[in-house]
A = this chain, B = another copy of it.
Amino acid sequence: MTDERMARMGLASVHDAGDARLHALVGREGAVEVWDHLRSGHGNTAMSRRAAMVDLSDVVKRTQAVGARFVIPGDQEWPVSVEDLSWSDPVGGFGGAPLGLWVIGKNLAESSPSVAVVGSRASTTYGEHVAADWGAGLTERGWTVVSGGAYGIDACAHRGAIAGGGLTIAVMAGGLAQLYPPGNTALLRKVCEVGTVISEFAPDCPPSRARFLVRNRLIAALSQGTLIVEGGMRSGAQNTVSWALSMQRVVMATPGPITSALSVTPHRLIRSGEAILVSSVDEVISALGPADTSIPDYPLQQPTLFDTLTPTQQAVYESMPGRGGISMDELCVLTGETALTLLAVLAQLTQASLITEAAPGTWKLTHRS
């Protein structure tokens, strides 16, 4: 007998990147049934063989070791907007909603409405300048900036968002044990602190070309719109754009000098009508339209209960796991607060129904239905 979270963690540890059939099967049969079926050796596929070999307790340990939590549909911080991937299929039998997400950093439910800022790794000074400006300008206006953590435009968008004092989400194409690319480790660690880093791949799964492509669909799905900054003739940004368009998301492009090869993709998208030309934060926000409040996990703009907490209460609340439980000792280490302070804060948070005592002497987030 396996619970839903463990089944999804198992499936997420063995699935092929972007296996839409598996996602569909889980939707029909349930994760537990599919996982138990795979584990029992049925099918004799590469996936069932991998399933037979996976040690789930090890995946749990690795998840904790990298400071991540494994979030699944139904969790308070599950980003419901990724469910749009269930019906989006621009490339045929490829994609689907993620089975679960490994998450480090801020609670995803506390993100404001998000906009993706993506573009070329081999960026120009112009593109980097503009990406950082978008990152700062959009977070200053209350938007969370989603990107892929890559060199070039992605990194500058994250940096700008951090500089703007806002939230940013980096979506990885591999597991969270090795934040990729290595040259951006310091930046991605910073995102873990002030924003959120997520992956649909188990902590030790290396990035691959296929995983980069399916990663792009998550960037598009997490965001109300996608904004391209620089892309050459064959740009990965085009892939993100296809996903965004297939989910009826807004696509925007930043124009640039026609003398630059990296203006090719933005200009082509504008010419074809796939993207709206944007040249200021006002234009981006106007193109995005009102924050989509139909996405229940992106409720902000108005203050939440979380915003009313003291810094210490927030720190404790943020340390809470969604499942399992965290002990007093662990909380002391994580927050740097004394046991006495923590006891008071735990009582306050419990009273506010934000956290729940799990096993005696351990606490976790209250599961919101």
Interface residues of chain A, those whose CB is within 8 Å of chain B, are 126, 129-130, 254-259, 263-264, 267, 270-271, 276-277, 279-280, 283
| Residue ID in chain B nearest A266 by CB atoms | B255
Q: Quick check: B257 and A256 within 8 Å, CB to CB?
A: yes
Nearest Cβ distance between residue A61 and chain B, in whole angstroms? 48
Chain B residues near A263 (CB-CB < 8 A): 255, 279
| Residue ID in chain B nearest A126 by CB atoms | B257
Residue from A254, A256, A258 having most chain B Cβ neighbours under 10 A? A258
Chain B residues near A257 (CB-CB < 8 A): 126, 130, 255-257
Q: How many chain copies does the complex carry?
A: 2
Q: How far is the CA of A276 from the CA of B267 in the complex (A)?
A: 11
Partner of A258, one of B130, B259, B267: B130
Q: Quick check: A130 and B259 within 8 Å, CB to CB?
A: yes
| Residue ID in chain B nearest A270 by CB atoms | B277
| Residue ID in chain B nearest A287 by CB atoms | B271
| 8 residue pairs from A and B, CB less than 8 Å apart | A126-B257, A130-B259, A255-B270, A256-B256, A256-B258, A257-B257, A258-B280, A270-B270
Partner of A255, one of B126, B129, B258, B280: B258
Q: Quick check: A271 and B283 within 8 Å, CB to CB?
A: yes
Chain B residues near A126 (CB-CB < 8 A): 257, 259
Chain B residues near A276 (CB-CB < 8 A): 271
Chain B residues near A279 (CB-CB < 8 A): 258, 263-264, 267, 271
| Residue ID in chain B nearest A127 by CB atoms | B257
Q: How far is the CA of A136 from the CA of B130 in the complex (A)?
A: 31
| Residue ID in chain B nearest A229 by CB atoms | B258
Nearest Cβ distance between residue A128 and chain B, in whole angstroms? 12
Partner of A259, one of B129, B271, B277: B129
Nearest Cβ distance between residue A282 and chain B, in whole angstroms? 12
Chain B residues near A280 (CB-CB < 8 A): 258
Q: How far is the CA of A65 from the CA of B256 in the complex (A)?
A: 48
Q: How far is the CA of A257 from the CA of B130 in the complex (A)?
A: 9
Residue from A255, A256, A276 having most chain B Cβ neighbours under 10 A? A255
Chain B residues near A256 (CB-CB < 8 A): 255-258
Nearest Cβ distance between residue A193 and chain B, in whole angstroms? 30
A126-B257, A256-B256 known; 15 other A-B pairs, CB under 8 Å?
A126-B259, A130-B257, A254-B258, A255-B255, A255-B257, A255-B267, A255-B270, A258-B279, A264-B279, A267-B277, A267-B279, A270-B270, A271-B279, A271-B283, A277-B277
Nearest Cβ distance between residue A261 and chain B, in whole angstroms? 11
Chain B residues near A259 (CB-CB < 8 A): 126, 129-130
